[in-house]
Structure 1
Amino acid sequence: MPSVLLAGANGFVTVTILQALLNQGYNVVGTVRSESKIHYLHDKFSKFVDEEMLTFAVVQDITVPGAFDEVLKANKFDSVVHTSSPYHWNVTDARRGMLDPAIKGATGILESVRMLSPTVKRVVITAMFGNIMNIPKGDWPGKVYTEEDWNTITFDEQALSHPSMAYVSGKEGAERAAWDFVKETKPHFTIMFGPPEQELTSFNTSTADIYDVFNGTSEPRFTTWAWVDVQDLAQAHVLAIDAPAAANQRYLVTTGNYSAQAIADYIWEHYPERAVAKRDLGITYKHGFDTMLRDTLKKLEELEAEGK
């Protein structure tokens, strides 16, 4: 069966990609940053480990030149899926903690594959919606983003001003560097970019953003409104490995545009006991969004009829 190198196998998106690859019959070597990260994956996918479809390798620092050389030399791969990029706000050095792992990690693995893995035919790299979003424009009503768009913030302009900007700049820098790599070196493989269920010793940033609204400790704080279920995103990665049309392409994978308020609205509708006013005041919610909107529109019709 085809063999895949999956970089960053314990990540939020990557664990679901790993499950999808194994379900499709791929043999997978998953890299993690430390031996301790293997235990959870070994237990979760013990069936595939026992069947020798899944093995692991430790790559401690993906920013080091040749970080993936050892695992590439020890295995014969048909494809590579690279999703590794830190996504959290607990950094004191944005360049070292965000930018370097994203950019050097992507270019480093591409160079190692070019030099050491002649059997690799496709490299799939995960980007993010921020790579195409015009952040200064904000919501930008009426704008329809496509794969032709690029983020307009320059690398030095705001990259180090806040961890979120460093994350976006790192992801965009990694993608631009990868396209430059293909253009300049013309490697024996093609690349495919896509946007965007791991061990929960703590919530990853995306999950924490939702949970903090769910438990009432935060208002919605999302800055990006393009959403995709991680299972669909994982399937996109698997399909991209063999799809001929995906060679050297860039795809925006999203189920649509949803506001951050939609998360809060869903929680209020389906988990009304979570609402802060109910907890503090003991109020019972009897009028949902549909009722509120129905009554409001009815009143507006009445006012229209009265000529007001």
Structure 2
Amino acid sequence: MRNVMTDRVLLTGISGWIAKHTAIELLNSGYDVLGTVRSDDVISQTKETISKYASIDKLSFIKLDLLSDEGWEEAAKGCKYIIHMASPFPMKVSKNRENLIPVAKDGTLRVLNAGIKANAEQFVVTSSIAAMFRKPNRSNPYSFSENDWTDENWVEGVNDYFLSKTIAEKAAWELMESKGIKNKLTCINPGGVFGDALDTKGGTSIEYVRQFLKGKFPATPKWGILISDVQDVAKSHVACLGNSKVGGRRLIIGKEVKTLLETSKILAEALPDYAKKLPKKTLPNFMVKFISMLDSSAKTMIPDLELEMKPETKYAEDLIGFKFKPASGALIDAGKSVVRLGLV
């Protein structure tokens, strides 16, 4: 076991759902964590949530804005590792495809540049398979790996979120390559992340589970996604630190792809009290397209309807040294936590 007693990690966007899980994993592994927040009012809840799962003796906070240079260099000083997680993931799709790029891309470059100036040893950036699998004319089933990129010029198929993830990750690699330190960067690319909400401020995926359990969806689109367990995602970030094998790599995190109907069945079995409200049939594609005109959150699925996704993930398990969990556990944890926290 290496000595992490003095190893300090700058973790951006610590009040975010996946970031809280990552902070818990870091603190329980002995790291000193400096978490960035956009406003002071999220600090107390974040601290309270994390303290239920880890000692917070080595946890501190700093208020910083991804759209402003101010304070980043100061924050990165003395940090051996930089984990950049803060990035927008809204439920609704904006008509302006460029909408999220300033925060996603400029924010990423701001954090990386601050870390480079502070001589940080290693950088781990949270990306997404959203930066990998969207392109026109895909085969079905569709396989993709760490060498694949979403086609940012595909206007109909690549919305604001997909575009922001792709452009931000490409910018990160270009910057590190231009400095000759590409091997100091690793990107973590999960699919749909599910798991314990921890508190009432869970992420977008938790909101989808909540809406499912509330009976908002009488039927589901014919759509599937790689399911990533939030604990695997958190653990993957931490497993990269001090691990020379992951330098210059993009790691796809997750074991199984599940359709929304399969997800519904898993939740119905685990939470029989909610089984009646969960969808039991699929929607025809034309209906999804019609609904998307009224509800932009449905738009994000249209390019992948009836497409069977086959991501390559085994190499990531080999590089970080642990096996990813099956999808059902993450989905059940999400459902049970939504009920436990009184969100339905």
- TM range, normalised to the smaller chain? 0.7 to 0.9
| In structure 2, C-alpha distance between the alignment counterparts of 1:39 and 1:222, rounded to whole Å | 41
| In structure 2, C-alpha distance between the alignment counterparts of 1:198 and 1:56, rounded to whole Å | 21
Residue number among 50, 55, 59 corresponding to 1:48 in the alignment: 55
Structure 2: runs of 5 or more not aligned: 191-195, 279-344
Residue number among 187, 190, 198 corresponding to 1:193 in the alignment: 187
Residue number among 70, 75, 79 corresponding to 1:71 in the alignment: 75
| In structure 2, C-alpha distance between the alignment counterparts of 1:23 and 1:277, rounded to whole Å | 38
Deviation, 1:203, is 4.4
**Equivalent residue for 1:127?**
127
User: Number of residues paired by the alignment?
Assistant: 265
| In structure 2, C-alpha distance between the alignment counterparts of 1:261 and 1:254, rounded to whole Å | 19
Deviates further, 236-245 or 87-96: 87-96
**Equivalent residue for 1:302?**
none
Contact persistence 1:16–1:231 (CA under 8 A): yes
**Equivalent residue for 2:268?**
268
**Equivalent residue for 1:180?**
174
Structure 1: runs of 5 or more not aligned: 279-308
**Equivalent residue for 1:229?**
229
Deviation, 1:19, is 0.5
3-state SS in 1 of match to 2:143: coil
Q: Is 1:167 matched with 2:172?
A: no
TM-score by length of 1: 0.77
3-state SS in 2 of match to 1:150: coil
Contact persistence 1:225–1:258 (CA under 8 A): yes
Query: Which structure carries more helix by proportion?
Result: 1
1:101-116 maps to which residues of 2 (within 5 A)? Answer: 101-115=103-117
**Equivalent residue for 1:62?**
66
3-state SS in 2 of match to 1:30: strand
Deviation, 1:259, is 1.3
**Equivalent residue for 2:35?**
30
TM-score by length of 2: 0.69
With over 3 angstroms needed to count, the CA separation of the structure-2 counterparts of 1:93 and 1:188, relative to structure 1, is: same
With over 3 angstroms needed to count, the CA separation of the structure-2 counterparts of 1:121 and 1:5, relative to structure 1, is: same
| In structure 1, C-alpha distance between the alignment counterparts of 2:229 and 2:270, rounded to whole Å | 19
Deviates further, 237-246 or 190-199: 190-199
Q: Is 1:81 matched with 2:75?
A: no
Amino acid across the alignment from 1:70: E
Deviation, 1:136, is 4.0
With over 3 angstroms needed to count, the CA separation of the structure-2 counterparts of 1:240 and 1:121, relative to structure 1, is: same
What fraction of aligned residue pairs are identical, expressed as a percent?
23
Residues 86-107 of structure 1 show CA distances to partners (whole Å, capped at 9, x for unaligned) of 1113576856752211111111
CA root-mean-square deviation: 2.7
